[in-house]
Structure 1
Amino acid sequence: MRLAYHLLDVFTETPLAGNPLAVVPEADGLDFSQMQAIAREFNLSETVFVLTPRDPLHTARLRIFTPTQELPFAGHPTIGAACLIALLRAPDMIGARPLGLALEEEIGPVACEVSCYKGSIRARFVAPQTPRILRDLTDKGKIAAALGLPVEDLGFDAHEPVVASAGLAFAFIPVAGRAALNRLAPKFANFGEVFGLERPACCVYSRETSDPAHHVQARVFVPGLGGNEDPATGSAACAFAAVACAFERPEDGEHTIVIEQGLAVGRPSLIALTMQVSGRQLVEASVGGACVRVGEGFLTI
């Protein structure tokens, strides 16, 4: 079997930055074990397989794999796959106006749109579940120890550690500034016990950013995911909408937060999180970013 694949960098306009992704655009002939083996072969944080949708009104069906497991939903694979599908199937339509896609993921249908801005292809998707805080994390001593920080580095303003989700759960830990982010020395063996998550995943964030035009700088750790630190995490950005609304209490209307990520691993990324607030409640969150193709080829299996 000969299969085409494409390599993309997501949440960046610059090749070899952002979060790398492999996409296999015609994967209908593959079974679960073959997809998992191919994802293990690429050994990226995620590999996406594009299949015929179950519902003919939808654009495509996606299956998303890490090197070790299938995920029901993930952010940078959704952005990258949406951009690639638009480039392959409707390249002449992207610049005229935003191109709508409906992508079936294991979590359910995900609404996306793809556009072109100043020569850069971008995609945006609506969170498949309304982001919500699941619970507080109250043992700051254990949290600080798991991150290799002193307790006094935790928190800023009203922000406190919580677990939140928009389809995938993350622990969100606020820290005082970029200096604390740079000092992080995670003890991954402790993550499961401290954060109480089946898939231990932690987003450590600060209001202090490298660029004053941005709003948040974050580092996201998912033990066992390649190098353990993710360069850009759209699913965490979705869930962060619940955190931002809980602690910032934004007024009704539309609000956009630009998140810096990936600087510590040499793959700078920018994630745009847009929140719709009504009655001081979060009613919708969407995540967007740029994408660039960096390679293509064929697998022979």
Structure 2
Amino acid sequence: MPNLSYTTLDVFTSTRFEGNPLAVITGAEALDTGTMQKIAAEFGYSEITFVLPPKNPANTAHVRIFTPTMEVPFAGHPNVGTAYFIGQQSEIFGKPVGDRLRFEEAAGIVDVDLRRSNGQVTAATIRAPKPLQTGATIPEADIARCIAIRPDQIATALHRPLFVSVGLEFAVAELDSLEALAAAVPNPALFREAAGNRSENNHDFSLFLYVRSKENPWHLRARMFAPLDNVAEDPATGSASAALSAYLVSRAPGTDGQQRVTIEQGVEMGRRSIIEVDVTKTGGTVAGVRISGSCVFVMRGEILA
């Protein structure tokens, strides 16, 4: 294995040591999947990415995303952070870097727009690669047991807990107060039991909890637990935010158009993140989901051969 360069960023924030950490690794063309997985486990971040030459030269890069335990087909903060990283380069794989990027991923093509100010990238916006998909509902008692709260602290007026996805599946549940959200504590054994009760097996059982602001129902506070991926809690989860936002907009009455959803996450961890999701609805159906965020660089270094 050659020496590999890595850069770390904090994603969905403009303040260092907040947001969600990400490692972006380049020069890994010779690595096999097993070695990539070991590197992801060594970093211990919720995800890391490997930026590889595109299979189709019309695209910008082939991006592989790993949690500490598995490769995933799509995720939000790795795409935003990787796009921000690439946007700082003058060229990649022999081509100049513009303001629009295309990433090849297991979930499909991920389109990216870069926002610049005075020539510098300030934020990245990605489009979810898959349409909104909804899965089975989940008993409130099962959710409550997983996070050690009472079943009556789960709000069900808008929807029951269920699985949603725009490229990566999550269980989502609304809680009735910020106090209930703060009190949630994941129990890995019960998460494992919940995962074992499922017929699907694409991402074990990752749970995204949220509370709607009383002043603005499109401003949410959230927490995400994925102990089966060795991620006790994730400070910012773009793919879950996108799936939840798409689902909430799909159920909202009113005319078609674009709805901005702002999700604040990571507060309880001391790593506040702000995720902006724009959902477009046409003919009563969600037609597109875009996830935006800022980033800040933290470290650069080498993984030794």
What is the TM-score normalised by the length of structure 2? 0.89
Q: Provide the residue aligned with 2:211 in structure 1.
A: 206
Structure 2 unaligned segments of length 5 or more: list them: none
Q: How does 1:118-267 map to 2 (within 5 A)?
A: 121-137=122-138, 139-155=139-155, 157-194=157-194, 196=198, 198=201, 199-208=204-213, 215-267=219-271
Q: Does 1:71 align with 2:72?
A: yes
Per-residue deviation, residues 151-207 of structure 1 (Å, max 9, x unmatched): 221115423211111111111110112111011122232224446353110001000
Name the CA distance, whole Å, in 2 between partners of 1:13 and 1:159: 33
Per the alignment, do residues 145 and 59 of structure 1 end up closer, same or farther by CA in structure 2, a change over 3 Å counting? same
CA distance in 2, matches of 1:85, 1:225: 27
CA separation of 1:41 and 1:102: change in aligned 2, threshold 3 A: same
Aligned residues: 295
Q: Deviations over 1:236-269 (max 9, x none)?
A: 0121133212443353001100100011111100
CA contact (8 A) 1:61 1:105 kept: yes
Structure-2 change in CA distance of 1:153 and 1:127 (3 Å): same
Alignment partners' CA distance in 1, 2:254 and 2:144: 28
> For each residue in 1:118-160, what CA deviation from the matched residue of structure 2 results, as whole angstroms up to 9, or x when unmatched?
97621111111012211222x2223222221112211154232
Unaligned runs of 5+ in 1: none
Asked if the contact 1:120/1:291 (under 8 Å) is kept, the reply is no
Shift of 1:67: 1.8
* 1:267 alignment partner, SS class: coil
The answer on 1:18 being equivalent to 2:19 is: yes
- State TM-score, norm by structure 1: 0.91
Counterpart-to-counterpart distance in 2, 1:192 and 1:281: 34
Q: Is the deviation greater in 118-127 or in 14-23?
A: 118-127
Contact 2:100 2:112 in 1 (8 A): yes
Residue 223 of structure 1: how far off its partner (Å) = 1.2
Note the C-alpha offset of 1:56: 0.2
Once the 2 structures are TM-superposed, how far is the Cα of residue 227 of structure 1 from its aligned partner?
4.2
After TM superposition, which residue ranges in structure 1, 4 or more long, deviate above 6 angstroms?
211-214
The alpha carbon displacement at 1:78 in A equals: 0.6
Contact 2:69 2:230 in 1 (8 A): no
Distance, in Å, in 1 between the alignment partners of 2:245 and 2:184 is: 23
Of 50-59 and 66-75, deviating more is 66-75
Q: Which residue of 2 aligns with 1:55?
A: 56
Q: 1:36 & 1:58 partners in 2: Cα distance?
A: 25
CA contact (8 A) 1:54 1:61 kept: yes
Residue from 254, 263, 287 that aligns with 2:291: 287
Match of 2:116 in 1: 116
Code of the residue aligned with 1:215 in structure 2: it is H
- CA deviation profile, 1:261-280 (whole Å, cap 9, x unmatched): 01111110010011001122
Identical residues among aligned pairs (%): 35
CA distance in 2, matches of 1:26, 1:213: 44
